[in-house]
Amino acid sequence: MTGKAQTSPSTRKGRTSPRGGTGSGTGTSSGGRLDVDALLDDPATRIVVCCGSGGVGKTTTAAALALRAAEKGRSVCVLTIDPARRLAQSMGLTELDNTPRPVTGAALDGGSLDAMMLDMKRTFDEVVEQHATPEKAAQILTNPFYVALSSSFAGTQEYMAMEKLGQLHATGRWDLIVVDTPPSRSALDFLDAPDRLSSMLDGRFIKLLLAPAKGPARLISAGFGIVTSALNKILGAQVLTDMQTFIAAFDTLFGGFRQRAEGTYALLQARGTAFVVVAAPEPAAMREASYFVERLAGEQMPLAGLVVNRVHETGAGGISAVDAESAAQRLVDGSADDDRTAGELLMIHAERMRVAAREERLKRRFGAAHPGVPTVSVAALAGDVHDLDGLRRIGDLLAGDGV
Amino acid sequence: MAQSTQLHVVTGKGGTGKTTVAAALAMSLAGQGKKVLLCEVEGRQGIAQLFDVPPLPYEERKIAVGLGGGEVYALAIDPEAALLEYLAMYYRLGRAGKALDKFGIIDFATTIAPGVRDVLLTGKVYEAARRRTGGRFTYDAVIMDAPPTGRITRFLNVNSEVAGLAKVGPIRRQADSIMEMMRAPETRVHLVTVLEEMPVQETIDGIAELTSERLPVGHVILNLVRPSVLSGVSQKALAAGSVRPAEVASVLAAIGLERDVTVAEALIAEGEAHLERQRLQDAQREILDDCGRPLVELPLLSDGIDLGALFELAEQLGDLR
């Protein structure tokens, strides 16, 4: 697999966003504020990919961006991977049927919003059915290796998300597609999936396994003899036979798969695509965001900017954590309710100031390492987002419209 | 000393802090004088970052010493290295092992072949948990910082999956032994969550999935819990909206802080947000109260996680078995 950070900071800088870097506002990095509205308003923006590590609010960010774009009059489809149940329900995503359906309740002004949830196995099955003869498809779909590959291969979900994106894009039905990426072990898996599939198709091992099935066993070398006998010893002969049957049946599809993977990859590099890296102000998530920004630059993929979710802000920054704490100590011991309440509010404030300072440090560090990346911070909401109003509120925060 | 090796599998939704909890659990057991191996399987080097040591190689290294004289070793399990080690150990595949590598089979097996990666990762944990040094088990406990809740059942169960593919042969036997360990009385799968809607739902689904596969569920660990600061009186007043900015401002002024009403309003808003969070936490905790598994709470530490914080969290995890 490809290394993480082969790109030097200087090449990285030049490639960052063609859009969005010019706005004013309160961006924390020197890349300026990520102008979400400019991004969504630009008719040249055709695909927005939200990526980042697990648990940082990718799905919510993707849904909020899609809703905002639709309510600005664009025709939008949002492809989600694993939405929270109530959020899914509020978007009409009650079943996993791999078909985009209109979201009701969006305040549409000439725009439209469709949403769908990815069904990984079904997407894979459909690809097989589309590209193989019915008998061959049936043979593939029941092979134990296919069943395992389509449901549990690390990377299948990522690859199928890409595949689905390519399909949705090809229909031309929407002028903007917003994609949420799978909750991978690492945000980078998403970029590696098509490559990994291609490398499987090109692997010497596969070619060797295919060779005997293709007739004269002229390619079987002495080395391969050792290998197959070793594999037979370890796996049992029947496994290798199953594998060969599967690969032979799959063979006709391979060329098509690789082509599609390459096509999707090119689509991600195209001018109309914008990557939005999503993070939470935690060390691990910000580190993943850094890797991702570097990878995108290395792959020449267009980065729109960074969204830092769940940031703690304060309107009482004039009272420092230390002052608030010492005042609180004196007040909470008092006898008057007013004093005690004020003291408790100051304790809450002291904690918030400390959290805010830590988050600010993380954001500054990111900004220093990636000076060209436009950034926007989204304030932490006290409750979960599970309806369109909540998504609108997130959309406002993303666009810097205040609460 | 070690009669058997405990295996603690720590899972949780992304962002809930499972690596931190796994590390704190390791410190807790080391604090009881135990020799512990802490493994990570996702190539993230999260353990090295937590303990502030250089990236871990595929080699067991001592990274901390517990207050009770125990020790924490750490290992980042790399599937390729695990496969080569496995082949060397069980098959003495000198020449053939090299041939496998040359033919791209190591790469194929570790990145592409369905399930093999997961078998290798769990297989290495199995090897460490069963290893003996001089008649005793090498480790008192092995802790695995495992894949997230959404994938944990499939991950732990992957040996069943392989058992379905490989009907006979050594791989099958290996897979069967691993499954046996996963379901053994010394094994526990702990689920880490935060008190928010989606992670809690995933935890409940995860418990159901694990249980239906007969995988032993241990504790549910509520991580990053925000302690309640507000007294009953203040809670009531905030909920009723009867905390007046002017009154707060005058208290602030009397104590020598800013007297600005907008500052008082901001403090009240922060208090209201705190209260709403508390209520959300309480509601989610109530849901988990009914999940049938013991709960442990770990507080949110506002200064972030370092070695000192791990010791602090470790104290709360003393009951995990």
Chain B residues in contact with A358 by the CB 8 A cut-off are: 302-304
**pLDDT at residue B225, rounded to an integer:** 95
Q: What is the number of residues in chain A? A: 403
Does residue B1 carry a pLDDT above 50?
A: no
**Among partner residues A227, A233, A344, which is closest to B230 by beta-carbon distance?**
A344
- Could you say which DSSP state residue A103 is in? P
Percent of chain B beyond pLDDT 90?
Answer: 60
Residues of A in contact with B42 (CB under 8 A): 185-186
CB neighbours (10 Å) of residue A299? 16
From chain B, the residues in CB contact with A148 under 8 A are: 114-115, 161, 165
Interface touch A233/B114, C-beta < 8 Å: no
Q: Closest-CA residue in chain A for B47? A: A284
Confidence of residue A187 (pLDDT cuts 50, 70, 90): low
Q: Do B115 and A1 touch (CB under 8 A)?
A: no
**Per-residue pLDDT tens digits for A68-77:** 999 999 999 9
Q: Which domains occur in chain B, in start order?
A: 6-226+300-316 (3.40.50.300), 232-277 (no CATH)
According to the model, what pLDDT value does residue A91 have? Answer: 80
Distance CA(A252)–CA(A254), nearest Å, equals 6
The helix/strand/coil state of B204 is: helix
Supply the mean pLDDT for chain A: 80
Polymer length of chain B: 321
Compute φ and ψ for A94, nearest 5 degrees: -90, -25
Residues 6+ apart with CB under 8 A from B303: A354, A358, B309
Q: Are A205 and B158 a contacting pair at CB < 8 A?
A: no
pLDDT in tens, B289-311: 999 999 999 998 877 788 889 99
Determine the residue of chain B that is closest to A341 in CA distance: B234
Residue B213 has pLDDT above 70, yes or no: yes
**Is B252 an 8 Å CB contact of chain A?**
yes
Contacts of B272 in chain A (CB under 8 A): 382
Q: Does B171 lie at the interface with A, CB-CB under 8 angstroms?
A: yes
pLDDT band at B85 (very low <50, low <70, confident <90, very high): confident
Q: What is the C-alpha separation between A341 and B243, in angstroms, rounded?
A: 8
In whole angstroms, give the CA distance from residue A356 to residue A314: 8
**Contacts with A287 from chain B: Cβ below 8 Å:** 49
- B 172-211 → A contacts, CB under 8 A: 172, 196-199, 201
Query: B46 and chain A: CB distance < 8 Å anywhere?
Result: yes
The alpha carbons of chain A give a radius of gyration, in whole angstroms, of: 25
Q: What is the mean pLDDT of residues A89-111?
A: 82
Inter-CA distances, A348 with A360, A365, B27, B211, B248, Å: 18, 26, 30, 40, 14
B45 vs chain A: nearest CA distance in angstroms? Answer: 10
Strand order in the sheet with A101-102: A101-102, A112-117, A75-80, A176-180, A47-51, A273-279, A303-311, A375-379
**Banded pLDDT at B33 (limits 50, 70, 90):** very high
CATH of A30-399, one of 3.40.50.1360, 3.20.20.80, 3.40.50.300, 3.40.50.2300: 3.40.50.300
Is residue B186 within 8 Å of residue B7, measured between CB atoms? yes
What average pLDDT does range A231-249 have in this prediction? 70
- Residue given tokens 């580190």 in the structure block: A287
Closest chain B C-alpha to A171 CA, distance in angstroms: 30
Task: List beta partners, residue A273.
Answer: A47
Mean per-residue pLDDT for B254-280? 91
* Predicted pLDDT at A335: 78
Chain A residue closest in CA terms to B249: A342
CB contact under 8 A, A315 and B93: no
Please indicate whether, in this complex, the C-beta atoms of A196 and B93 are within 8 angstroms of each other.
no
Please state, as a whole number, how many other Cβ atoms lie within 10 Å of the Cβ of residue B206.
26
pLDDT in tens, B143-177: 999 998 888 988 898 766 676 666 777 777 878 88
3-class secondary structure per residue, B1-60: CCCCCEEEEEEECCCCCHHHHHHHHHHHHHHCCCEEEEEECCCCCHHHHHHCCCCCCCCC
Query: Residue A130, Cβ neighbours under 10 Å: how many?
Result: 11
Identity of the residue in A203, A233, A338 whose CB atom sits nearest the CB atom of B251: A338
| Res B301: pLDDT | 85
What is the rounded CA–CA span in Å between residue B26 and residue B32? 10
Contact present, A177 and A77 (Cβ < 8 Å): yes
* pLDDT tens digits, A41-50: 999 999 999 9
Please tell me which residue of chain B has the smallest CA distance to A145: B114
Q: How close does chain A come to B232, measured CA to CA in Å?
A: 10
Residue A304 has pLDDT above 90, yes or no: yes
Q: Where are the domains of chain A?
A: 30-399
Mutant choice from A121, A234, A288, A330 vs B, greatest count of B C-beta within 10 A:
A234
Please tell me the distance in Å from A54's CA to the nearest CA on chain B: 4
Whether A327 sits inside 8 A of B257 (CB atoms) is: yes
A-chain residue closest to B151, CA distance: A152
- Return the axis-axis angle of helices B158-165 and B170-182, rounded to nearest 10°: 150
Min Cα separation A3/chain B (Å): 13
Query: Does residue B247 register a pLDDT over 90?
Result: yes
ipTM: 0.81
Residue B224 has a pLDDT of: 93
Q: What is the mean pLDDT of chain B?
A: 87
Report the residue of chain B nearest A247, measured CA to CA.
B113
pLDDT surpassing 90 at residue A382: no
Is B267 in contact with A346 (Cβ distance < 8 A)?
A: yes
Q: What is residue B295's predicted lDDT score, i.e. its pLDDT? A: 96
Q: Which residues of A touch B197 (CB under 8 A)?
A: 84, 86, 384, 386
Task: Specify the residue for token string 């939008």.
Answer: A76
- Nearest chain A residue to B157 by CA distance is A152
- Chain A contact probe: residue of B78, B90, B243, B252 with most A CBs at under 10 A: B252
Inter-chain touch B165–A339, beta carbons under 8 Å = no
Half-sphere exposure of A26 (CA within 13 A, CB side): 12
Q: Which residues of A touch B166 (CB under 8 A)?
A: 235-236, 238-239
Whether the CB of B237 is below 8 Å from some CB of chain A: the reply is yes
Lowest mean pLDDT among A4-18, A98-112, A269-283, B62-76: A4-18
**What residues in B contact A239, CB-CB < 8 Å?**
165-166, 169, 171
